[in-house]
A and B are shown apart, each in its own frame.
Chain A
Amino acid sequence: MSDFAFIDGSIVGVYLLVVMTAGIMVRKYVGKVEDFLLAGREMNLYLGIASLAATEFGILTCMYTSQNGYENGFAGAIPGVLLCMAMLFVGWTGFCIKPLRDSNAITIPELLEKKYGSRVRWATGVVIALGGLLNMGVALRIGGEFLVGVAGIDQKYLEIMMTTLLLAVAVYTILGGMLSVLITDFLQFIVMSAGLLITTLFILHKVGWGTLVNTVQNHHGSGGFNPFRNENMGWSYVVFNAMLATAGVITWQPMIARVLAAKDSKTGQRVYTRTSFFFVARFLVPGLWGIAALAILSPQEIGDNSLLAMPTMIRQLLPAGLLGLLVAAMLAAEMSTDSAYMLTWGSIIYNDIMAPLRRDNTWSERKGLFWNRTIVALIGVFLLIYGLWYKIEGDAWTYLCLTGTIYLSSISVLLVACCYWKRANSWGAAAAIICGAFLPVTTLILQKVGPWTDWFQKRDTLCGVITYVAVAIAMIIGSYHKPQSRLIVTEAK
């Protein structure tokens, strides 16, 4: 068994020092709220690719995708393939992201206000912030479990590690906002990619491709290669993930923030097309690690929690030095995700939820910056408390999908209708928001209590598909039910 040696600690220490210094140094360039939230909209293509790739790969991502590989074989990487296709489609066509960037809005709700009014802006802001924060809340504990598991640290230090990690991220995010996030994302992208590449090559060398394929064949049969034949997946899983992927790439605020921070809509679209294949790697690479864990670990070594199979395997397999590089890579992944997410949800709270307080336009840039920094700090405190005591149950990916569906379903329907359906109005928007929030929450409750818990737990992806369809229908029915006279008055206003 490999232990976390002095050389590993040194690699991690140097990495943290470089990132913190770079993140704090750029604070002097922040003069306005737009600089803080969108880096003055000066982000170019390659910085965008690095930032998007780093943001969308955290320790949590690595853990649940490796769990997917462990439990479903290669078929577990299907969400990544679907995300890649969705990114290519949206990047090539500019579907929703082009009108969004061209509108010069800071957030999605700001654009929605132009079509549906200020109340809908406020409501969508609440839905996005709530869904996003709940979704992000589970990341810290799982990230801590990974680091503790890989480095062989006592479980009792998990909370201290999480607090330290979050404090480090919060310091440079509060000071430099999106500028710090972009610069540190860039450094984290390089470290993360190097760590992932070397670790994957090492695992492939030690375990072998043939062994990985045979392991999947022995444990999962043809379902390990084909999602339609997999008993945990099936058509509803694929359809749900296709819907989730499309909704995610057009409305997931951390991704959209890169489009909005881009120089123009063309650059934003190119960031999407050129980052698309990364999403296959995002699922397949940790998936291979999960399969390797299935190949070389005994059931006794894994225990009940398949989420911890991959870190256990990593600790056993990787030599000193490489272990430090991997931990640095995973810290990079976690820090880039945390900083971007804190800033993103903070931007929604400031720009949309607090919008009624700024109606008179008397807020100075200085006051705006103060509030943005305060909100990011408060989100950090919330994450620490929520991330410490909340215990995730069952399949992490499904949990994330469901909490994400709380806002993805309604906001994606609102955005598509806002950009491409002339008849869409505030009644349809309200119906879509209520429906999109009510159905996933009801599903989550019915999975925990009541006589049908088994049924709802087994058909969570089907419930997800139904939610997306129901939200679209709610938008259509609501929009057609708004009296024409009110519609004309609203449009005249």
Chain B
Amino acid sequence: MMTIINGIKSMFHDHWCWGFLAFACIVWYSTITIYVAIKGSYDIRNMLRTLSKSKDN
């Protein structure tokens, strides 16, 4: 745990701008992916339902 905290600290210390962006990328991938995966599955279900209805009509 301490290794991770020290790693994050060093990211904001050495060239903080690039460190911040790299940290934000990791946060983006670890959070947005899960959120998009859950919400996207609902989008797929709704899309296929609508297309199925329009095809029947």
Using CB atoms and an 8 Å cutoff, list the residues of chain A in contact with chain B: 26, 29, 31, 35, 39-40, 42-47, 49-50, 74, 77, 81, 179, 182-183, 186, 189-190, 193-194, 196-197, 200-201, 204-205, 208-210, 213, 225, 277-278, 280-281, 284-285, 288
Listed residue (B39, B43, B46, B50) with the most chain A CB atoms within 10 angstroms of its CB: B43
Question: CA separation between A77 and B21, bound complex, in Å?
Answer: 10
Contacts known (A190-B33, A281-B29); A29 close to B19, Cβ less than 8 A: no
> Is the pair A44, B33 in contact by a Cβ cutoff of 8 Å?
no
**How many contacting A-B pairs (Cβ < 8 A)?**
104
B56 vs chain A, min Cβ distance (A): 10
Against A, the Cβ 8 Å flags (1 = close, 0 = not) of B1-41 are: 00100010011001100110110111011101101110111
Chain B residue contacts of A193, Cβ below 8 A: 29, 33
Contact across chains for B24 and A280 when beta carbons are under 8 A apart: yes
What is the minimal beta-carbon distance from B10 to any residue of chain A, in angstroms?
A: 5
Say whether A29 contacts B14, CB under 8 Å. no
Residues of B within 8 A of A50 (CB): 36-37, 40
Contact-size category for B: 35 or more
In terms of DSSP, what is the predominant structure of the interface of chain B?
Answer: helix
Quick one: which of B15, B24, B47 contacts A39, CB cutoff 8 A?
A: B47
Residues of A within 8 A of B22 (CB): 209, 284, 288
Name the CB-closest residue of B to A75: B18
Q: Are B26's CB and A197's CB within 8 A?
A: yes
Evaluate whether A42 and B55 lie within 8 angstroms (CB atoms) in the complex, with A200-B26, A280-B25 already known.
no
Determine the distance from Cα of A193 to Cα of B36 in the docked complex, in whole angstroms. Answer: 11
Say whether A225 contacts B15, CB under 8 Å.
yes
How far is A197 from B46 in the complex, measured between Cα atoms in Å? 29
Does B28 contact A44, Cβ atoms closer than 8 Å?
no
A186 and B48 within 8 A (CB): no
10 A-B pairs closest in CB distance: A46-B39, A47-B43, A193-B33, A281-B25, A46-B40, A44-B43, A197-B29, A213-B14, A74-B18, A42-B47
Contact of A42 among B11, B37, B51 (CB under 8 A): B51
Task: Answer whether A209 and B29 are a contact pair too, CB < 8 Å, given A29-B51, A29-B55.
Answer: no
A–B complex contacts, Cβ < 8 Å, 28 sampled: A40-B51, A42-B46, A43-B47, A44-B46, A44-B47, A45-B43, A46-B36, A47-B43, A47-B47, A50-B40, A183-B44, A189-B40, A190-B33, A193-B29, A197-B26, A197-B33, A200-B25, A200-B29, A205-B3, A205-B7, A209-B7, A210-B10, A225-B15, A277-B28, A280-B21, A281-B25, A284-B22, A288-B22
Q: Is the CB of B47 within 8 A of A213?
A: no
**Interchain nearest-CB distance for B54 vs A (Å):** 7
A74 to B41, CA, bound (A): 35
